[in-house]
Structure 1
Amino acid sequence: MPALVRPTETVRDSFLAGVEEFRAEGRGGAGDNSMLGRDILRWAPRWQEAAVFAAYVEETLADAHEDSGRPAGFVPSTVLWWVDGTEWLGRLSIRHRLTPRLLEWGGLIGYDVRPSVRRRGHGTAMLRAALPRARALGLDEVLLTCDFDNVGSRKVIEAAGGVFEDRRAEKLRYWIPTGAHAGGA
C-alpha cells in the first residue's frame, strides 16, 4: 500500500525511472521553475552515481530546516515521497509558510505524480496523507494552486477537500483545512 515517506536512497532506481518519465514530458527544461524541474536541471546528469543521489537525498531532507541554504525568496519545505515498497510513485512538498509570491502563485503544497501511474488516485491519496503532516507543522489550512486548465490537478485538490477561493491570472486557488476531518472521506 502506498505511503508518504521521507526521501530515501532505497527507491533510487525507481526514482530515476520516474524522473525519465517526467523528462519525456518536457519537465526539467529551462522554463520549468517547479521544484521537480529545478531538481532535474541541477541533479539529473549526476543522479546515476550513488554518492550523488545520496547527497541529493540529504539536501532534500535538510531543506525542511530553517537554517538550510536556499535561494532568496524560498522558504523551508518538507519533501515527502509517495512510494509503494521500492516503487517511487511521486513527490510532495509542504512549504512551511507563505510568501507574497506563494500566496498568489505557488501555495503551500505542491505535488507531482509519476506519469505512468496517473489517473489511479495517487494524487488525491498523497495529498490527503499530507494534511496531518501539514497540521503537525502548525498549518491549520493549506493553500494549493493549479493552472486553470489543469483538470486533473483541480480534481485532485477538490477530492482532497479543496475549497475554491478564486482565480488569479492563470492560477486557481483552493484552501484545504488540515484538521481531523480534513481531506474528505
Structure 2
Amino acid sequence: MSPQLIAPTARVHASFLAAMDEFRAGGVEQVPHSSLARELRTWATRWPTVEGFAEYVDAISGAPGEERAGGVVPTTTRWWVADGSYLGRVTFRHRLTDELLHYGGHLGYAVRPGARRRGHATAMLRAALPIAHHELDIDPVLVTCDHTNTGSRKVIEACGGIFEDQRGEKLRYWIHAAAPAAGEQPHRRV
C-alpha cells in the first residue's frame, strides 16, 4: 500500500519505537526548538509500554484547533505510514505566533532516518497541503528550513515553495495550498 498521512494510531507502535531510536541515534535531541526532541524528552520512557504509547497517541490526537494550555498554538499531527510501518510525521501549527513567523512556520515534517532519500518528504509535504487548506483553513502555508539543509530546501521548492527571505539560520518559504485564481494574489494568514 502507498504511504498515507493518517491520524496517530497505536497500530504502528513497534515501527514508531524503531523510528525514535533512529532519530535519537541521529542526534535529534540536540536540535534546538525541535518538537520531536521535546517529545523524546517527555515521552521516551513511557512509549515502550502499550499503555504509555496509547496515552501519547491520545495526547497528540486532540481535536483540530483545540486550545492548549499556556498559550501554546493548537496543532494537528499526522503520521506518514505505509504497510503498517511508521515512516515520518507532519505537525500543523494552526496559527503563527511572532516566533513561528520567524522560525517554525505552519508545519514541520520529519522522515525517519532509515526511510530518507526515497521521496517520502516530498510526497508527505504534498499530501499535507490539502489538509492545511481544506481541514485547517491554512493558506498559504509558511514552511521553514535551516539554510544548511539542502534536502529540505529542495523538498519545499518541489512542492511549490516560494522563497521569501532568510532570517538567521532559517530560510522561509510560502506554499499556496490551493492555487489562486488567475490574476488573484494570495493572502498571507498570520
Q: Is the 8 A contact 1:21 1:114 kept in 2?
A: yes
Q: Is the 8 A contact 2:65 2:94 kept in 1?
A: no
1:33 aligns with 2:33: yes
Distance across 2 between alignment mates of 1:57 and 1:73: 21
> Aligned residue for 2:57?
57
Count of matched residue positions in the alignment of Structure 1 and Structure 2? 178
Q: Is the 8 A contact 2:108 2:143 kept in 1?
A: yes
Distance across 1 between alignment mates of 2:26 and 2:162: 29
Q: Is the 8 A contact 1:63 1:76 kept in 2?
A: no
SS at match of 1:28: helix
> Aligned residue for 2:144?
145
Q: CA deviation at 1:64?
A: 3.4
Provide structure 1 residue ranges, at least 5 long, that are not aligned to the other structure: none
Distance across 2 between alignment mates of 1:132 and 1:57: 23
SS at match of 2:29: coil
Q: Is the 8 A contact 1:28 1:39 kept in 2?
A: no
Distance across 2 between alignment mates of 1:109 and 1:155: 16
Q: CA deviation at 1:85?
A: 1.8
1:172 aligns with 2:171: yes
Equivalent residue letter for 1:3: Q
RMSD: 1.4
TM-score, reference length from structure 1:
0.92
Deviation sequence 1:43-91 (CA, Å, 0-9, x none) = 011211100000000000017342343xx34200110000002110001
> Aligned residue for 2:117?
119
> Aligned residue for 2:100?
102
State the 4+ residue runs in structure 1 displaced beyond 2 angstroms: 63-69
CA gap 1:73/1:170 in 2 versus in 1, 3 angstroms:
farther
Distance across 2 between alignment mates of 1:65 and 1:85: 29
Provide structure 2 residue ranges, at least 5 long, that are not aligned to the other structure: 181-190
Distance across 1 between alignment mates of 2:148 and 2:71: 27
